[in-house]
Structure 1
Amino acid sequence: MADVIAAVNFGRDNRLAIAIRGGGHNGPGFGSVDDGLVIDLSMMRGVRVDPAKRTVRVGAGCTTGDVDHATHAFGLAIPFGVVSTTGVAGLTLSGGHGYLGRQYGLAIDNLIEADVVLTDGTFVVANTTDSPDLLWALRGGGGNFGVVTSFLFEAHPATTVYAGPIFWELKDAARIMRWYRDFQASAPDEFYAFLGLQTVPSGDPFPREHWGKKICVLLVSHNGVAADAEKAVNAVRAALPEPIIDFAGPIPYLALQDMFDGLYPKGLHWYWKGDFVKTLPDAAIDVHIEQAARVPSDASLMHLYPIDGSVHRKAEGETAWNCRDATWSMVIAGIGSDPGQAPALKQWAKNYWEAIHPFDLGGAYPNFMKDDEGEARIKATYGDNYQRLGKLKKKYDPGNLFRVNQNVRPMA
């Protein structure tokens, strides 16, 4: 803590741009800065579970895998993302959606308390009693208000889930997507499924005859009674065409979280764009399939992540996260290992987004936004909460010291 305070004071006194690095997973690159100061929290990786209270204290440098490893021993989990390498701090401060979100809400909905170093170097604890307005801002407002050094979360039961990916060839995608939008509207909270348009990886454990095929995938995850979970996924299987690959079955939640880590090692080139999505009309489905057919690399993808169920049962003004009426959070990611392919990855993602955005809402999940989206896009993301965030920015960071982020500007 003392080092963080010293770093904030040094950056402020020397008028340096400050980047805050947690788990180091940020797509737009806000965990680093040129000609500025990086406050690297990645060594702050302590996790303490209180199984009686079902709470978890998490250091700001933790990845979700660090936390899952600790909580799984007690049959608990926190609603985080869908890969274990994601940093807890960045994921949480911008909302945090994942496999358990429909059942237990966003990560911010389970955030009880945060330790924060403010722009003047002072330390505060933000909870519902002390600095409650700051806690409200941290629940979705990003790194705009200070350096969070630890988080206290509520945890929930999650041990073995019935989960895994089911793949169909792209020719079946229109049928799968039309079924999916109807299924989503009536699915029980414990049944989560995200949809992807991507490519079968060329390597084990995927069958060689399917390597490189363009596909539509459903990643299902049912965190309920085992018999009910299998029955629910079997009903999905019965409703849809025969898949080319089906890896869904009983699996520890911990293993589900790190299932895809090996497909996306560090060092890849990424360019991603996002949107909040409320509806999925047939015309939008046609655009998705057309753009997915032009994918420039085997690793590139489009995913639709559900953000309904429990997420919808909080009011839009209850947290800084505003888009409580969206159905999905969409990400389009151009991904590859060849530096020479980077321009093509970027152009594909931009073209895809420009084609599909007219069907989507104005804002996006901040973690899926680029560093050059512009103030209008940020305002659209926070909606009616933007003005309140601006006033809190004026209170807690009037000089906009913490601006290497999806920046909320101070407002009188």
Structure 2
Amino acid sequence: MKNSAKNLNPNIIKAFASQLKGKVISPTDAIYDETRSVYNGMIDKRPGLFAMCENAEDVIASVNFGRENNLLIAIRGGGHNGAGLGLCNDGLVIDLSSIKSVEVNTSNNTVKVGGGNIWNEVDAATHKFGLAIPSGMVSTTGVGGLTLGGGVGYLTRKHGLTIDNLLEAEMVLADGSFVTVNKNENTDLFWAIRGGGGNFGVVTSFTFQAHPIKTVIGGPTLWPIERVEEIMDWYHSFIHNAPEDLNGFIATMVIPESPFPAELHNKKFCGIVWCYTGDPEEFTELFKPVLDLNPVFAHVGEMPYPSLQSMFDGLLPPGLQWYWRADFFNELGSKVRAQHLKFGSTIPTPLSQMHLYPLSGAASRLGSTDTPWAYRDAKYAGVYIGVDPNPKNAATITNWCKSYYEALHPYSAGGAYSNFMMEEGQDRVKASYKHNYDRLVKIKNTYDPNNIFRVNQNIKP
């Protein structure tokens, strides 16, 4: 039974606060409600204390304080987790948002990033040197959460998942010790954090391999939702046989009122958002089959890579209502396509959508046990996303997502990308790690046998 922070002697909290360079925030502080807000406005948790850490020493003190006082501990980086797993009720939130730095080493194209950074800060720094690190699709996402869960994004086919580009991390463990993990040091932990989430410690820095990418050719193409079955059938063959320089996720969506042309507003579409990193002179020929399908809208051109990464940030600001469900898929057969037509035609709110991210190319070349990411052979990471600014629509978007998921789950590969999961129970966690789950449990038993780090997609000791 975990203790509530409300039961702690104020002198104990005061002594803890005196150890930190950062602040301790409690429910009586004026900034408490602002501090407890996260990206998903549907999350309404009330932590007992926030430790606003500014360095690794603060994290060590916070982990020790939480453990010694038997508090539930949550770790918050960018605060983007759909299930709100960066917060907990009554316990201690170790907040990393002030642990920020981006150090670019141009001699070997490596980048050391603080545990509290978000991706647009990293993109801005690396872009100056003509470099990029594979990450996600929304640049306000935290580096830590996205990386520890895997990292699917625009560069997945060319350069793999984010975890495939992780070279080293510095971590605070459950006993308060500080360790470096890489291919030569603490190799079991290094394996575990590349997809195993925040189960094994608090990562205060990441070192990544970056790649020479400054500009890309990217943007969306759209077809009426009535054509989704045809477009998906074509896309499945096209994308997995395309050069790895070409990526594009396919979606069902409603076009919002900005920044698209007025004739598209509030209509439902099948869309593909493209990213090409190869020779621009070869793009026209490569892209010809796409244009031969006569999209009603095609806004694809050369742009800085960070511009593509941040293209949808403005449409998806913090504080919206979110509900997610997800699955891996190997095929887009006729029954699957029919369900996408059905649910794509009944999208309940303008920001709700479905995405299928292709996983072929570089991401598929690693073995299924090389990292905890067990679905290296899957063709897609799929996600159904209910989004709306109005809390009154929370049930509507949730029910649409759940129904979409229930209709398609029988055709799935079984598990899901952990960063796209809500709190769905232990069986779902096991399904998502598949044959790697037992190895993760063994490592958990070694480094966190008391499950100090449990507010996550939990690997139970």
TM-score w.r.t. the length of structure 1 is 0.97
Aligned with residue 244 of structure 1, among 289, 296, 303: 296
Aligned with residue 304 of structure 1, among 334, 356, 378: 356
Aligned to 1:226: 280
Aligned to 2:289: 235
Alignment of 1:172-191 (within 5 A): 172-191=227-246
Aligned to 2:256: 201
Residue 404 (1) aligns with residue 432 (2): no
Residue 96 (1) aligns with residue 151 (2): yes
Helix, strand or coil for the counterpart of 2:331? coil
8 Å Cα contact 1:166-1:247 kept in structure 2: yes
8 Å Cα contact 1:97-1:107 kept in structure 2: yes
Helix, strand or coil for the counterpart of 1:148? strand
Quote how far apart the aligned CAs of 1:234 are. Answer: 2.9
1:232 corresponds to which letter in structure 2? L
| Range moving further from structure 2, 111-120 or 154-163 | 154-163
8 Å Cα contact 1:297-1:335 kept in structure 2: yes
Aligned to 2:223: 168
2:282 corresponds to which letter in structure 1? D
Residue 388 (1) aligns with residue 439 (2): yes
Aligned to 2:267: 213
Aligned with residue 132 of structure 2, among 55, 66, 77: 77
Aligned to 2:11: none
Paired with 1:320 and 1:230, the residues of 2 have a C-alpha distance of 38
Aligned to 2:191: 136
Paired with 1:85 and 1:409, the residues of 2 have a C-alpha distance of 30
Paired with 1:280 and 1:169, the residues of 2 have a C-alpha distance of 18
Paired with 1:351 and 1:104, the residues of 2 have a C-alpha distance of 34
Paired with 1:228 and 1:67, the residues of 2 have a C-alpha distance of 29
Paired with 1:201 and 1:403, the residues of 2 have a C-alpha distance of 38
Quote how far apart the aligned CAs of 1:196 are. Answer: 0.5
Residue 158 (1) aligns with residue 213 (2): yes
Helix, strand or coil for the counterpart of 1:93? helix
The structure having more radius of gyration, on CA atoms, is: 2
Quote how far apart the aligned CAs of 1:63 are. Answer: 0.9
Alignment of 1:3-402 (within 5 A): 3-203=58-258, 205-238=259-292, 240=293, 242-371=294-423, 373-402=424-453
8 Å Cα contact 1:196-1:217 kept in structure 2: yes
Quote how far apart the aligned CAs of 1:58 are. Answer: 0.5
8 Å Cα contact 1:173-1:216 kept in structure 2: yes
8 Å Cα contact 1:275-1:330 kept in structure 2: yes
Q: Any idea what the Cα deviations from partners look like across 1:181-233, whole Å, max 9, x if unmatched?
A: 11122111111010000101112x21111100000001111100111123322
1:281 corresponds to which letter in structure 2? G
Helix, strand or coil for the counterpart of 1:262? coil
8 Å Cα contact 1:45-1:66 kept in structure 2: no
Quote how far apart the aligned CAs of 1:74 are. Answer: 0.8
Paired with 1:264 and 1:237, the residues of 2 have a C-alpha distance of 28
Quote how far apart the aligned CAs of 1:124 are. Answer: 0.3
Q: Any idea what the Cα deviations from partners look like across 1:19-66, whole Å, max 9, x if unmatched?
A: 111111111100111111110001112100001111000001111111
Q: How many residues align?
A: 406
8 Å Cα contact 2:254-2:267 kept in structure 1: yes
8 Å Cα contact 1:363-1:381 kept in structure 2: yes
Paired with 2:402 and 2:72, the residues of 1 have a C-alpha distance of 28
Helix, strand or coil for the counterpart of 1:266? coil
8 Å Cα contact 2:323-2:387 kept in structure 1: yes
| Range moving further from structure 2, 169-178 or 265-274 | 169-178
In structure 2, list runs of 5 or more residues that go unmatched: 1-55
Helix, strand or coil for the counterpart of 2:203? strand
TM-score w.r.t. the length of structure 2 is 0.87
1:393 corresponds to which letter in structure 2? K
Helix, strand or coil for the counterpart of 2:198? coil
Quote how far apart the aligned CAs of 1:69 are. Answer: 0.3
Paired with 2:433 and 2:90, the residues of 1 have a C-alpha distance of 29
Paired with 2:436 and 2:458, the residues of 1 have a C-alpha distance of 14
Q: Any idea what the Cα deviations from partners look like across 1:334-392, whole Å, max 9, x if unmatched?
A: 10011111011111100110001111011000011111x11111111111110000000
Quote how far apart the aligned CAs of 1:130 are. Answer: 1.0
8 Å Cα contact 1:167-1:243 kept in structure 2: yes
Paired with 1:7 and 1:38, the residues of 2 have a C-alpha distance of 9
| Range moving further from structure 2, 223-232 or 253-262 | 223-232
Aligned Cα root-mean-square deviation (Å): 0.8
Helix, strand or coil for the counterpart of 2:200? coil
1:306 corresponds to which letter in structure 2? P
Helix, strand or coil for the counterpart of 2:392? helix
Paired with 1:277 and 1:16, the residues of 2 have a C-alpha distance of 39
8 Å Cα contact 1:94-1:139 kept in structure 2: yes
8 Å Cα contact 1:230-1:249 kept in structure 2: no
